[in-house]
Amino acid sequence: MTQTQALPTPGTRVGHFRVAHALSRRVRLKSAIFGDPLFDGVYFQALLEALPGVSEARINVRGGCLVVVHDGRLETWEKLLQSLKGIPNEAFQHSPESEAPVTGSDVGIKALITVCAQALPWPAKAFLGWTMSMGVIVKGIEALFSGGLKVETLDATAIVMALARGKYFTAGSITTLLALGQYLEGQSEQRSTQLLKGLLRPQVEKVWVVRDGVEVQTPVEQVVPGDRVVCGAGELIPIDGVVAEGEASVNQSSISGESVPVHIRPGEAVISGSVIEEGRLTIAVERVGSETSMARIGRFIDQSLRGKSKTQTKSAALANKLVPITLGLGGLMLLATKDVNRATSVLTVDFSCAVKLASPVAVRSGMYAAGQAGVLLKGAAALDALQDVDTIVFDKTGTLTTGLIAVTDILPDQGLAETELLALAAGAEEHYDHPVARAVVREAKRRAIALPPISRVDFIVAHGVSASIDGKHVLVGSHHFVAEDEGISCSDMEEKAAVLRSQGKSLLYVAMEGKLAGIIALRDDPRPEAGAVLDALKASGISKIVVLTGDHKDTALALARTLPQIDDLHYELKPEDKAAIVERLKKEGRIPAFVGEGVNDAPALVTAHVGVCMPRGADLAREAAQVLLLHEDLHTLVVAREAAARTNTIIRQTFGATIGCNSLIMLLATGGMSPVLAALLHNATTIGILGYAAMAASRPLGRNAVVAANTRCREEVC
């Protein structure tokens, strides 16, 4: 079957959809499903765009139309048709109160009609005024009968009173303002959505695939189950599958959170996101694209776009509570003065409008700014959660530490000096791309040690290196490789080795001419920014910092000595112990955040008030966390905290400005201000407050947040 034959023709039914137009790489479908108030078009669009080969999906809710741009391959069509036929239940979890997005042209048309209608005769002016306002009026009536006095009811009342008295400019201004607020909120939400989808795109664009016995470079979206993908040293594995050929040392820190590579052999499974440190693998593909462990975009989109923050919920509730007050004041003014103009002026001053709209605009803009600064907030509720936190719990490996191995001890034997032992090891490891090798070579360069010439070197995967240096046979590797595989006695240094192991250090054995030449100890160092970040967190209001690790006691205590900001330390833990400690902190009345990245961190991430996942986090950890740090820099954790604090501050400021400005306008309205002028002042004030919320919350975040926090810390200490 050719690809052209596989394309559906106009009129073809595909589940709930009917093909309206089809080209080789583009299809337009019609469906009444878009009219379902529970259908979440943004979520469904994100699911389609996550399919391999689909570059864009656009949904026009009003037109009942879906346009999909794709690569034209048969496999892509099959995946697309499966998705269209089997729409998941999650796509029907939209809020019934959700509305079709307001476009800029909608706002512009309403504003144009409002202005131009003033030059028309009365019948045309009245017709346009009532027609343009009918949507708001109907919503107000529905809200009145379904939930009592709400913001929609007040909006409708103000508009009806203005229309009834022939104040069409006032009615049109209110209608335009409501549309403008919805448009600003929609734009902020759209920016956050587009940023989110861009951040979660696959990290690998092309891979090597074996086809007809030849390796060819292929776009990753064209890889299908059954293909054989070849990955070499230093490459990210972009698919889930089973090793068909080769052996390799694979860094699964994105899976397990641990920095020690794993030796992978034929028949063993590999998961997307792992990195090959050494060796070469041919992998039989099982899952690709949106089906891999690293590409669960649907759940991220679901969490990020559907949740509302506690502050947003409170603002909406407060807005509804202010409605009866405004209506009551308008009624009292009418009874006291018998002046309809004054009553209408008071009613036109809507406290709830800015209160209701400023909060979601600030939250969405804050999420966008945080994303630009390297913090992905999976939902508006994450902002509130970060603001409330008073305790931060760190998993040690890969969070407070770099995940990069460093040399700590050099113990020579056979009369060698430290520099001679390090030169032997670095000379043998210089051309070996492995974390341990890089650490040894880096240490030799730091000490400015000249490396000896090498005439031959052999790499033994997941064990070590065999090299010929100045005519002498040198072995560098693990105890198993040197002592067991090569039969070299290491008994003379067993006591020293035991001490180093008890400190949580890994050991590299060096042998020369059949005898042990010495031991090099290595460990994972703390991040260079860790101390400053912990200081900044405490300055931001964090009262307790806890560190959890499965490392030996001595290793954990060494970290605590390096970072005196740590208040509590737990070591030699099992994975399940972490969640139990977080739960205990909650029972003590604390509000903890947990920062981790491994699969074994997922229970603690879920248990904490807010879970924070590092950039190289395992897929399960990324899904469990509410906050994802996108840069390998702990300063982004301070940025996340700053984003939450700034957004909540802006919401409080907009609330104060709304109450203050509208109270002043209402006071002027009771003094005889005309309804039109009252409406204009109120509308201008609301637009200004919404503009401030959007601009202030979307200002760039970055290291200035850390600098400010450290400044506050120093000032408090002084």
Nearest to 644 by CA among 390, 351, 302: 390
Report how far apart, in Å, the C-alpha atoms of 2 and of each of 20, 54, 74, 77, 81 are: 21, 19, 8, 12, 16
CA-derived radius of gyration, the chain: 32
Residue 551 is a catalytic residue: no
Q: Which two tokens stand for residue 614?
A: 């590092």
Report how far apart, in Å, the C-alpha atoms of 165 and of each of 169, 324, 512, 548 are: 11, 22, 101, 69
User: 151 phi and psi, to 5 degrees?
Assistant: -60, -40
Q: Which of these is catalytic: 395, 413, 601, 619?
A: 395
Q: Interhelix angle for 351-372 vs 635-670, to 10°?
A: 160
User: 277 phi and psi, to 5 degrees?
Assistant: -80, -35
Residues with Cβ within 8 Å of residue 214, at least 6 apart in sequence = none
Q: How many helices (H) and strands (E) does the chain have?
A: 25, 27
Q: Interhelix angle for 351-372 vs 675-697, to 10°?
A: 20
- The answer to whether the CB of 548 falls within 8 A of the CB of 398 is no
Nearest to 650 by CA among 682, 683, 687, 691: 691
Report how far apart, in Å, the C-alpha atoms of 564 and of each of 549, 557, 558, 590, 598 are: 16, 10, 10, 21, 25
DSSP letters spanning 657-718: HHHHHHHHHHHHHHTT--HHHHHHHHHHHHHHHHHHHHHHHTS--SHHHHHHHHHHHHHHH-
Beta strands in 266-400 (DSSP E): 269-270, 275-279, 281-287, 375-377, 391-395
Nearest to 689 by CA among 642, 657, 644: 657
User: Cα 154 vs. chain centroid, distance in angstroms?
Assistant: 38
Q: What is the DSSP letter of 291?
A: G
Query: Annotated active-site positions, please?
Result: 395
